[in-house]
């Protein structure tokens, strides 16, 4: 099952130009099986998108992207809203543990900057509290994704993929391929914990399909 795990909509993110009609049409065109709406610090957009798609038969899953002192985090299964800036990652850990949520660092190596010879240092304080890291981010440069994949290998972490789309042309660039079909939020959380998935560029999948 192919899921774009990281999408921002204009229903919940002021930085996004992506509307529900064009989003649903595009993911179907791309043969993406489901999406996760991960607007910034609020489930409002995800909830609206789920309601909008109700009756269409297309699966929409609920997530959120949260800023922390250790970087941006994709969180699935959180049962509450958060303020725009969390003070520490520890606060998020406490909330995730209480709610049974899954944390996945978003674009963890985007800070790599060849002009300043600076390579992002992965915060090892995350280890033990995350299910995976986002190794394939559609808004990243290839070098940043390559570094994230190297981090995943180094620390034996699973990788997820998402487009980080804020506009139509970005949708589906990166995806997560799950071994099993997922039909509910609870099943998504279970599969994320189990690790039965891998990140991919959708173009590579399309080429392999022939």
| pLDDT of the residue at 135 | 98
* Spatial separation of the C-alpha atoms in residues 27 and 19, rounded to whole Å: 12
| pLDDT of the residue at 74 | 97
List domains and CATH numbers for the chain.
Answer: 2-209 (3.20.20.140)
DSSP 135-189: EEETTS-HHHHHHHHHHHHHTT-EEEEE--BSSGGGTTSEEEEESS---SHHHHH
| pLDDT of the residue at 118 | 41
| pLDDT of the residue at 193 | 97
| pLDDT of the residue at 101 | 98
Asked if residue 53 lies in contact with residue 60, where contact means CB atoms within 8 angstroms, the answer is yes
Per-residue pLDDT of the chain (210 residues; tens, 9 = 90+): 999 999 999 988 888 889 999 999 999 999 999 999 999 999 999 999 999 999 889 999 999 999 999 999 999 999 998 877 777 899 999 999 999 999 999 999 987 544 433 445 788 889 999 999 999 999 999 999 999 999 999 999 999 999 999 999 999 999 999 999 999 999 999 999 999 999 999 999 988 766
User: pTM (2 decimals)?
Assistant: 0.93
CB atoms within 10 A of CB 202: 22
Look-up of token digits 């002192």 = 69
């Amino acid at each position: 099952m192919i899921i774009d795990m990281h999408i921002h909509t204009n229903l919940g993110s002021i930085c996004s130009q992506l509307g529900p009609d064009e989003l649903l049409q595009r993911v179907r065109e791309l043969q993406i099986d489901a999406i996760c709406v991960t607007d910034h610090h609020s489930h409002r957009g995800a909830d609206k998108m789920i309601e909008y798609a109700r009756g269409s038969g297309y699966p929409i899953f609920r997530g959120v992207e949260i800023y922390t002192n250790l970087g941006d985090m994709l969180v699935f299964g959180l049962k509450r809203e958060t303020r725009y800036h969390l003070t520490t990652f520890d606060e998020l850990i406490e909330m995730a543990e209480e709610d049974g949520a899954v944390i996945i660092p978003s674009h963890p190596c985007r800070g790599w900057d060849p002009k300043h010879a600076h390579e992002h240092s992965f915060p090892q304080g995350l280890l033990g509290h995350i299910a995976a890291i986002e190794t394939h981010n559609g808004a990243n440069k290839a070098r940043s994704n390559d570094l994230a994949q190297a981090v995943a290998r180094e620390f034996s972490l699973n990788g997820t993929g998402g487009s980080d789309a804020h506009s139509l042309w970005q949708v589906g660039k990166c995806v997560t391929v799950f071994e099993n079909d997922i039909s509910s939020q609870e099943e998504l959380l279970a599969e994320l914990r189990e690790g039965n998935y891998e990140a991919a560029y959708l173009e590579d999948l399309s080429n392999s399909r022939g």
